[in-house]
Every structure is written in structure tokens, then in C-alpha cells.
Amino acid sequence: MSRSVSSSSESPPPPAIGHLADETQRQSLLQYIDQRIQELEEERCELRQQLSDLKAEQSIAKAKIREA
């Protein structure tokens, strides 16, 4: 009972096809990274605005405490 080791379904794809698959994965990953960067930059802007608002509230609260 001998098995044939070489089978067309087991052979690796030709280099050109493999390269295209790698390039597609690379482009997909780059798109994901770009999207995440944009999302994180937007979140950072929102957090900076919240920080600014909280600092303003803190200043108002401190001023009221000094008046009392």
C-alpha cells in the first residue's frame, strides 16, 4: 500500500499567486491599521476635549470654594 506523495492539491501555489495573496493580506492589514489610527486619533481628540472641560469645571469649583 504505497501512497503517492505528490498531489496537485498539496503543492504550494506558484510564487506569483503566493505573492499576490501576500500583497492582498498586506494591503488589508495596512487598511486596518490606517482605520485604527484614525479611530484612535478621534478618540484622543475627544479625550482631550473632556480633559479641557474637566479642568474648566475644576477651576470653577476652586473659585467657588475660595469665595466661601
What pLDDT, on the 0 to 100 scale, is given for residue 14?
A: 56
Q: How far apart are CA 2 and CA 5, in angstroms?
A: 9
C-alpha cell at 34: 490606517
What pLDDT, on the 0 to 100 scale, is given for residue 37?
A: 98
pLDDT digits (tens, 9 = 90+) for 1-51: 444 454 445 665 555 667 778 889 999 999 999 999 999 999 999 999 999
What pLDDT, on the 0 to 100 scale, is given for residue 7?
A: 47
User: What is the arithmetic mean of pLDDT over 48-68?
Assistant: 96
